[in-house]
Structure formats: C-alpha cells, structure tokens
Chain A
Amino acid sequence: MNRVIVIGAGGAGLVAALSAHENGAKVTVITKEYPTRSQTSMAQGGINAVLSDEGSDSVETHIQNTLKSANGLSDEKAVTFMCKEAPNAIKWLDSIGVPFSRNSESKIAQRKLGGAYAPRACYAQDYTGLKILHTLYDRCLEAGIEILNERYLLEFITNKDNNSKNFVCGVSVLNKRSGEVEVYEANSVIAATGGYSRVYHDYSTNSLSTTGDGVASANRAGAKLSDMEFIQFHPTALKNSSILISESARGAGGYLLNSKGERFVNELLPRDEVARAIYDEMAKGHDIFLDIRHLGAEFIENELPQEAKLAKLYENIDPSVELIPIKPAAHYTMGGIEVDEYSSTSISGLFAVGECANHRVHGANRLGGNSLLELVVFGKQAGKSAAIYADSFDKRADLSGQKKSFEDKITKIKEFSSEINFYEKQRELGELFYKNLGIKREKTAMRTLLNEVKEMKAALPKMGVSDKTKEYNTNLIEFLEFKNILELSELILISAISRQESRGAHFRVDFPLLDNKKFQAHTIIDRDGAVSYED
C-alpha cells in the first residue's frame, strides 16, 4: 500500500508531503483546519539562508550564530546540516514560484533579524509565511496529493512488532463536519502539528489552534518528548491581544519605554534578554510601550503597514503619534517530539517535523528566521524517511476494533457533567503559566502550579462540553485541545522544575547561573513523566 499519512498542513506538513510523494509514496494530508489557514501563514520576518559567500556573511557564521543562540544545547551536526542546506532550500522555494522580495540586482532581498551578524533573512514583503505556505499548497494540488480538511487527530494508533517494539499503523481522527470518528491505516505517519504555545492562552502570539495536539498524542502513544521547558517569549506583543508586533519595528529603531517614559534596555539584544528586562520593569509596576513615533508616519506607512494596522485595530492607537502598549508573550516552543537525524521518533514509522518536533537545532533559544528554514530542510528529510520506511513496511495490524473504542471515548466525554466551564480554567491556566512558568521561574511557584494542574486534570470529568451536537461541535474540539494542553502543562512543569539552572529562555531565579556540568544536556520526558538527560 505504501501509504504515508501526514498530520498537519503547515509549512512542515506540506513540504514533508511533497517530499514523500516525490519519493514514491501515496500521501494523504490530514489537517484540523484548511492547509492555508495554518499558523505558518502568520510568519512575517523571513527565512534564514546565506545565499552568497561574497559579502560579510558565510554559512559558517550562520552556524555559529545558531549555536550561540542555542546556549550550548543544540546538536552541532544538525545545525550544520540545516545551515548548509539553507541555500538549497531557498533555491527550491524560488524554483516552485515563491514570490520572494528582490533587490535592485535581481537577487533575493535579505534583511537582518535579531541575533544574526548579517542580513540573512529572505522575505516576501510582510507576508513571508503566507506566500511560502500558499505556494506549497499550490504545489500539493499540482501533485494531486490527497488533502483531508477539518479532521481532528485523536490518536496515533500503535502496535507491537515481533521484538515488542512499538510501531505506528494508523491514526484516528474526528471528522469535524460529520462528528464521526474515522480510522486511517498507514505504513508510516508524519506528525507536523505545530507547537504548544497556546498553553499560555491569552499570553501567546500564536494561532488559536497551536495547542500541541500532536505532541500530546505522540506522548500518549509512547514517544519521547524533549526540552519541553524551553519556551521563547517574544518581547513585543500587543498588550491586550498578544498579537505580534514584528521585530522589524525595533530593528528599524523603535524604543522600549516604561511608564515614566524612560528607556531601560538595549532594544537590539537577543529576545530572551529583552523579554527579561521588560519583565523586571513590569514587576516594578510599570506599563511598557514600544515607541516608533520618531520613525515618522511615512516610514511607518511604507515599512510597517501591518504593525500599524494591528495597533489601530487591537489597541485603538495610531503608532505614528501614540505609544504602543506591549508585553512579552509566548511565541515559540523549542521542545517537542524527540527525533533523530532521520526525523524518526522513538516509535517505529512515526516521524515528526516542524515546531512539534525537536531536531535539536534551536536549543535553549531559537534564532528568528530559523524556524521556517527548519520546516523546509527537515520537512524534505522527514518526507523521504517516511516514504522509504513505508516502502519496506511488512508488519500487520488489525484496526477493526479501533473505531468503536474511540467512539466510546468521545461518547464518554459528552457525558461529563460540565459543572465547571473549562474555558474559564483554560484562561486561568494561561495566566498561571505566564506568572509562574513564564520569563522567570522559581521552584516553589512551579510546584504549586503543578499541583493546580493536577487538580484541573482530575476535575476534567466535571468540565466537558455543554454542546452535545454531533456536527461541527467546536466546543468538543476545544475541550479536546484543552485536555492536550493540560497534559503538556504537566510535562513542561516537570521538565522545568528538574532543570536547576538558567539557560536561554529558561531562567531560574533560584538557580540564576548556567550549570554546564549537570545540565548541558537535553531534557527527555516519557509517558509517565520520568525525566532523564541526554547529550
């Protein structure tokens, strides 16, 4: 049958699908929304690649910048592979029609993002992610790849082989429209479901659907997760809505001010440092603002139109004459499903790629523009690995009883009492996470939070859904997402408590120093919440 199923249709999923198709597999892509609605559409800044060795930049510098930003936690081999492949990745995107911005010499234009020593991010105006994602989608249509929209992944279905090793043999999904459980067999499965920053709920820049479903499902299926405690906070999200104001605003000369109108940090430091400085000011009772008034109305109109639009819409202010109220917000999750150099997880036949996976290239702090790059480079690799694996798949699995068992689980959830409004709990959880597992962390607060998370988990049967309709029940989907978020919360907390040092995005007030002796290693966490460390 040679069938590869890809769960998730963001940049990572679509690249993997195209690559698996190219390598001879019969590919089906499954997504809970429509492909073009994936979070990848939101990326504005750019995608990193050194396109020529003539200027001030080199592949070696790209590697060094990435390693430095990772704070000693990345795999040098993986980083080297990614940075070396970067020019090919851009060449490929260009060859399929991505409308990159060009400079006056007819070359792909590049701009400088935080932590890079040179202008290295290729972009398509303000819409880099959108244009890459749509072009990939068009390619998938051209290739005739089957795409199943609006289907929500419930579980990766696994079985044991003769050596009693876990292997994946299919997936169960909830068809949002019909409300029916569907089971799909596959020789191999690629998880490309995105990150888990929505744990922070209102304190996240992410799309509303970035709820870590794939990471949680993989964990339930027995896959190892790693580095879950490393969560990047972007310094400048709008205060009320957490919508991202791009780094380009500071890059162009924007200031950060406190309530007294004072600047308090060098705005061009790495994200984690700027976010911590803002945090400290806020702890003193200050409100924080981004000031771009001095850049002038014309510059803002031309260079930061999307920023101006969003500030107007969500804060009701005109940034050319008013200050923009901001706060740091959870933006990117470095951790995820642990994968090896072929993108395979600890379950045979299950591959993972994109923000849900941990290819060990971002370490403790991701460099802007490296995420889109990771999608393309490792997406190709994951697709190829999955196709090769699928081709040699020789195992047997009986999935006939599966549908019923998943249906029963859904029925049971619908019988929960809904005395407690889970949306309220979700909001509360986000706030608690922001306060206690945010930019700064400390043992006692995290322990208390862990207990609260456990209590919430235990109270799930009192939450449930009040909408019992079968068709298009978004109340049910959101409950399932909340359940995933709660499960991941526990794993994040356990990982964060166990890492008794400060590194990159993980800052422990009680252990403010880097401890390379004990902790220059990746946190691995299994299904039972047991933590170990691996080089």
Chain B
Amino acid sequence: MKINIKRENIVCYETNLENRTLLEVLNEIKTTQDASLAYSSGCRSGVCGSCGVRVNGKEVLACSYHVQEGDFAEPLNNASVIRDLVVDMDRAYSFNAKAKAWQSSIVDDVLLSHEDEKLGEVQSSCILCGSCYSACPVYAINGDFLGPFSLTRVWRYVSDKREQNKKEKIDNIQTNGIWDCTLCNACTLVCPQGISSKADIEKLRARSALFGYMDPNFASFGFGGGFDGSPVF
C-alpha cells in the first residue's frame, strides 16, 4: 500500500500493511525504512491528543484513522511546522491561559446532580488534539482569536455550578473571542470527541447577553456606530 507524506517535499512510502491505522503505518516506516520521519504519538487509543494530522485535507487522529491506498498525510494547519508532521502547539495551547479556562477559585461542598454533571460531560472530554484550530477559518486569519477549544473549555467551566465568578469568565472572552467566530461549524466536523465548539460559542453568546453584552457586529450594523456613539469602521 502506498502513502504520501508531506515533508520538505512530498514523499511516497510503500508498506505491505493492510487495514492498519495511520499511526501503525508511520511506525512501520520509521522503524524499518526511514528513521528520519518525524511525527507525534502517545496513547495509540485516541485519548492523549498527540497524533492530530490531516489526511486528504481533513483533520484526523493518526491512531484512529485506517489508511487507504494513496492517502496524502500532512501536518495540521494554522500552526508552525516543526518538522514533517509535527507542529508547534504552544501557541494554540496558550489560549487556554488567555481565556482563563479554569475554575476561578477552589470551592468545597457544592452539590452537583447527575444532570449537572451531564452539562459539561462532552466539553470536558476534549483531548487538546488541535484539530479544531487547524480547521478554523477565523483563526487562520486572526492569530489572536481565542479559538474553538479554549472557548469550549471556558464553557465547560461557566456551565459548572462550582464556578463562582461567571461574569469574569464572560468578560474575558469578548475581545477576539465569541463574537469573532462565524459559526461556520468547521471545528465541529473535525472533532474526534464529538464536541461542537460552535454550539458552545453560541451558548457563551447567550450567556453574554444575560450579562448585558451585545453582538458588536450586529450593533454596528444596526446603529452605524458603537454604543458610545463613535463611528465603527
């Protein structure tokens, strides 16, 4: 079976493995043919988030994708390539800190019901694989956009009863945050964990409205200016 991998040039490798995951094929290439091939992996079972790559233009986890004849594998988009299929995740990860995606204080003895738990179940299953940042067209042009996984993470904490300062969390994601998203849904389509950051962003918008925020795009359309009367360009 042949597979093409984007390195400095596109390189075609051939192995006799059939019906295997991309990670197994990469391991075979690395250990028997070309030790210089670089990629990341860890758990082999879809939970550590190390092995996000793009195959035929779509984000997948190498350990969860079965290779097809002639597949084309390349590194994730919207991140600098360190080498071959390895990208630098530091920048994307830094948005979790910028978005203050954590519980603002330590709280004891909050009673959570089974239903409360379910509210954030999907969101807290994020594995930080970065697929959503790779697929996001807004992040592609605005490097300061907080981006899908960090906003999903903010929603995880905002939707949790243990969060004592929801307002602060909401205040913090107004700029380069929820209003910049175009709700295109690209992030949702590639998420291996079935998370819809788009839907979480919509929930965060609704929550923002409760705290008195309005969609700045809508505001500028409607009134031809900002709230303070100054013109918006």
Interface centre among B47, B102, B120, B124 (most CB of A within 10 A): B47
Q: Contact: B93 with A102, CB < 8 Å?
A: no
Which of the candidate stretches B103-111, B134-142, B170-178, B181-189 sits at the interface with the other chain?
B103-111
A91–B15 Cα distance when bound, in Å, is: 51
For window 51-109 of A, CB contacts with B under 8 Å fall at 91, 95-97, 99-104, 106
Q: Residues of A contacting B127 with CB < 8 Å? A: 36, 41, 130
A472 partner, pick from B50, B83, B106, B162, beta carbons under 8 A: B83
**Residues 124-150 of chain A, each 1 if its beta carbon lies under 8 Å from chain B, else 0:** 110101110011001101100000010
* Cβ-based interface call for A484 (8 A): no
Known contacts A243-B45, A466-B36; is-contact A96 B83 (Cβ 8 Å): no
Shortest B95–chain A CB gap in Å is 11
CB closest chain-B residue, reference A469: B36
Cβ-based interface call for A423 (8 A): yes
Q: Is the interface of B mostly helix, strand, loop or mixed?
A: loop
Q: Name A450-472 residues within 8 Å CB distance of B.
A: 465-467, 469, 471-472
Contacts of B50 in A (CB 8 A): 33-34, 37
Q: Find out whether the CB atom of B108 lies under 8 angstroms from the CB atom of A141.
A: no
Chain A interface bracket (under 10, 10 to 19, 20 to 34, 35 or more): 35 or more
Cβ distance A316 to chain B, nearest Cβ, rounded Å? 6
Chain A residues near B112: list those with CB within 8 A: 102, 106
Whether, in the assembled complex, A304 has its beta carbon less than 8 Å from a beta carbon of chain B, the answer is no
Q: Determine whether the beta carbon of B36 is less than 8 Å from that of A42.
A: no
Residues from chain A with a CB closer than 8 A to the CB of B43 are: 39, 41-42, 207-208
Residues of B57-74 at the interface with A, using a CB-CB cut-off of 8 Å, are: 64, 66
Residue numbers in A under 8 Å from B4 (CB-CB): none
Contact of B48 among A38, A101, A467 (CB under 8 A): A38
Instruction: Decide: B102 and A42 in contact? CB cutoff 8 A.
Output: no
Contact A241/B114 with A36-B49, A141-B102 known, Cβ cut-off 8 Å: no
**How many angstroms between the C-alpha atoms of A212 and B31 in the bound complex?**
20
**A474 and B124 contacting across the interface, CB-CB below 8 Å:** no
Choose from A100, A130, A149, A427 the contact partner of B125 (Cβ within 8 Å). A130
Question: A310 near B: Cβ within 8 Å?
Answer: yes
CB neighbours (8 Å) of A423 from chain B are 30-32, 35
CA distance A106 to B153 in the complex (A): 23
- Chain B residues lying within 8 Å of A532, measured Cβ to Cβ, are none
Is the pair B160, A99 in contact by a Cβ cutoff of 8 Å?
yes
- Complex: how many Å from CA A306 to CA B123? 17
Which residues of B have CB within 8 Å of A103? Answer: 114
Interface residue? A165 (CB, 8 A): no
**Does the CB pair B44–A96 fall under 8 Å?**
no
Q: Cβ of A100: which chain B residues have Cβ within 8 Å of it?
A: 117
Binding site for A on B (CB under 8 A): 19, 21, 24, 30-32, 35-36, 38-50, 64, 66, 82-83, 86, 88-90, 93, 96-97, 100-104, 106-108, 111-114, 116-117, 120-121, 124-128, 153, 156-157, 160, 162-163
Mark A residues whose CB is within 8 Å of B. Answer: 33-34, 36-39, 41-42, 91, 95-97, 99-104, 106, 124-125, 127, 129-131, 134-135, 138-139, 141-142, 149, 177, 207-209, 241, 243-244, 306, 309-310, 313-314, 316, 421, 423-424, 427, 465-467, 469, 471-475
23 residue pairs bridging A and B, Cβ less than 8 Å apart: A34-B50, A36-B127, A37-B40, A38-B42, A39-B48, A96-B103, A99-B117, A101-B117, A102-B112, A102-B114, A106-B114, A125-B121, A134-B124, A135-B124, A138-B102, A141-B96, A149-B89, A208-B43, A208-B44, A241-B44, A316-B19, A421-B31, A423-B32
9 new A-B contacts, CB < 8 A, other than A130-B47, A142-B100, are A38-B48, A42-B43, A106-B116, A129-B47, A141-B97, A141-B101, A177-B88, A465-B35, A472-B38
